[in-house]
């Protein structure tokens, strides 16, 4: 009898080169279970690990996740403290596994505000994973889209190069990577919350009512299937072939 073969893993369309995710809803997930908000953040890490696996299986080369915004310092001090401790623990526990999976890590956001130990772990995770090329995972930590534009403008001004969209883009945090093709936000909110303002100009937006710890590989597959149904026009007309990305006259 012929051995039963597993079906090949589903592949995302090749036009899906970069997924960005606002991982929202951890606090509500925990509160609904009468747990402290910190428990939601902990389970949120498991959902992120599943997302990384899902992107690898589906062949999505770049993933950028929003883990802590520049506005999240406004939260109660104990929640902020708990999140910082969680980031340290996750980097200590998970970096080697991620490297083993072929994940290259990059952190975007302002690092000065972090403890020495967190900054050191970030630097080590980037260095240890630098030669990996299966999945580029960008983690936005103390990141704000407006900050990103300002730091790029400052760097460009300091370089003395003339201003243009291309030149400014070369100084943005995600320079050198394709812009996100798909933005997923969980948690039922329909807003950007100061995530990648520059880079999302022509990104397809997908909102899910699932709370982040509930977002699993099936939910990812549903988001990708919806992306595959979208027609991207970049200002053109239906049916017109378009070059991937923004074309500026």
What's the full length of the chain, in residues?
A: 249
Q: DSSP assignment, residue 17? A: -
Position of minimal CB gap to ligand IPE: 27
CA distance 230 to 5: 32
Kindly state whether residue 189 participates in binding ligand IPE, applying the rule CB under 6 A: yes
> C-beta of 190: minimal distance to ligand IPE in Å?
10
State both tokens at 175.
Answer: 């320079």
Q: Rule CB under 6 A: is residue 148 a binding residue for ligand IPE? A: no
Tell me whether residue 215 is exposed, middle or buried, using C-beta atoms within 10 angstroms of its C-beta: 0 to 12, 13 to 18, 19 or more: buried
CB 164, min distance to ligand IPE, A? 30
Q: Is 170 in the site for ligand IPE (CB under 6 A)?
A: no
For position 66 contacting Mg ion by CB under 5 A, the verdict is no
**Residue 227's binding partner, choosing from Mg ion, ligand IPE, none, with beta-carbon cut-off 5 to 8 A by kind?**
none
Residue 69 binding ligand IPE, by CB under 6 A = yes
- Nearest-approach distance from CB 79 to ligand IPE, in angstroms: 8
CA distance to 15, 66, 177, 199, per residue, from 229 (Å): 12, 25, 24, 22
The CA–CA distances, whole Å, from 208 to 51, 94, 170, 227 equal 14, 27, 32, 13
Q: Is 67 in the site for ligand IPE (CB under 6 A)?
A: yes
> Which residues would be at the binding site for ligand IPE (CB under 6 A)?
22-28, 66-69, 72, 83, 187, 189, 191, 193, 212
Catalytically annotated residues: 24, 72
């Amino acid at each position: 009898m012929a051995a039963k073969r597993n079906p090949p893993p589903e592949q995302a369309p090749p036009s899906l080169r970069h997924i960005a995710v606002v991982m929202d809803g951890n606090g509500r997930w925990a509160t609904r279970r009468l747990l402290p908000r910190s428990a939601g953040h902990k389970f949120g890490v498991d959902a992120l690990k599943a997302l990384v696996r899902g992107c690898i299986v589906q062949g999505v080369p770049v993933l950028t996740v929003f883990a802590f915004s520049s506005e999240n310092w406004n939260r109660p001090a104990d929640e902020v403290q708990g999140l910082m401790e969680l980031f340290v623990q996750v980097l200590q526990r998970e970096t080697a596994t991620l490297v083993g999976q072929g994940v290259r890590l990059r952190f975007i956001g302002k690092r000065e505000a972090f403890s020495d130990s967190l900054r050191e772990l970030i630097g080590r995770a980037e260095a240890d994973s630098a030669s990996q090329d299966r999945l580029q995972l960008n983690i936005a930590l103390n990141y704000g889209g407006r900050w990103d534009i300002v730091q790029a403008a400052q760097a460009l001004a300091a370089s003395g190069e003339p201003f243009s969209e291309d030149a400014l883009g070369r100084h943005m945090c995600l320079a050198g990577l394709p812009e996100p093709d798909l933005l997923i936000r969980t948690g039922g909110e329909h807003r950007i919350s100061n995530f990648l303002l520059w880079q999302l100009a022509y990104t397809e937006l997908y909102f899910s009512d699932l709370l982040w710890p509930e977002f699993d590989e099936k939910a990812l597959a549903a988001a990708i299937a919806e992306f595959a149904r979208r027609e991207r026009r970049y200002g053109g007309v239906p049916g017109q072939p378009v070059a991937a990305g923004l074309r500026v006259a």
